[in-house]
């Protein structure tokens, strides 16, 4: 049992945890308002890319190419009493879709679980191979 499965599943684990981190950051900042549209928090999301191995081009691990910021327009809300409101009484809230973020979180955690299961199976098989003839 080669240990390449661990590399592949491990790369997926770290990629999915980056995704979970961005979801956590987006949810935490869903209500972080700002006094101008430019400085408002923007939703972040990771970009995944399949990366073929050097020795065997048929198997690919996952790499996080980077984290991109959403281009969605900030929401303009009229809240003249807010300490961060601009001179016209508006505050700017990030355009984060909380439902979308929750769905993203569930998908990421399911994928994470699948990869953990994969590693467990691979570990069991490797241990059984090591104990051959005993």
Partner 1 sequence: MATDPLFGIHPDALQFQRQRMEMLAANIANADTPGYKARDLDFGKLLAAAQQQPAGNSVTQPGHLALDNDSLKAATVWRVPTQPAADGNTVDAQVEQSQFAQSALQYQANLSFIDGRLRSLMTAITGQ
Taking the mean position of all CA atoms in its chain, how far away is CA 40?
20
Q: Assess contact for 48 and 65: CB atoms under 8 A.
A: yes
Q: Does 127 bind partner 1 (CB under 8 A)?
A: no
Task: Using CB under 8 A, pick the residue from 24, 84, 106, 125 that binds partner 1.
Answer: 125
Q: Does 22 bind partner 1 (CB under 8 A)?
A: no
Nearer to partner 1, 25 or 109 (CB): 109
**Residue 129 Rama label (left phi>0; alpha psi -120 to 50; beta):** alpha
CB of 43 to partner 1, least distance (A): 17
Query: How many CA atoms, within 13 angstroms, populate the side-chain half-sphere of residue 111?
Result: 19
Q: Does 66 bind partner 1 (CB under 8 A)?
A: no
- 76-115 positions binding partner 1, by CB under 8 A: 107-108, 110-111, 114-115
Q: Assess contact for 43 and 95: CB atoms under 8 A.
A: yes
Nearer to partner 1, 7 or 36 (CB): 7
Query: How many CA atoms, within 13 angstroms, populate the side-chain half-sphere of residue 79?
Result: 13
Q: What is the DSSP letter of 37?
A: S
Q: Where along the sequence are the contacts to partner 1 (CB under 8 A)? A: 1-2, 4-5, 8-9, 11-12, 15-16, 19, 48-50, 56, 58-62, 107-108, 110-111, 114-115, 117-118, 121-122, 125, 128-129, 132-133
């Amino acid at each position: 049992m080669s240990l390449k499965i661990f590399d592949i599943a491990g790369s997926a684990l770290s990629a999915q945890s980056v995704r979970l981190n961005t979801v956590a950051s987006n949810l935490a900042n869903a209500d972080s308002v700002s006094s101008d549209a430019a400085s408002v928090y923007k939703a972040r999301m990771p970009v995944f890319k399949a990366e073929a191995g050097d020795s065997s081009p048929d198997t690919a691990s996952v790499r996080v190419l980077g984290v991109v910021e959403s281009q969605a327009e900030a929401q303009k809300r009229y809240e003249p009493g807010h300490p961060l409101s601009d001179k016209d009484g508006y505050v700017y809230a990030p355009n984060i879709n909380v439902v979308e973020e929750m769905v993203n979180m569930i998908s990421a955690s399911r994928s994470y679980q699948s990869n953990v299961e994969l590693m467990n199976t691979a570990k069991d098989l490797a241990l059984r191979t090591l104990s051959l003839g005993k």
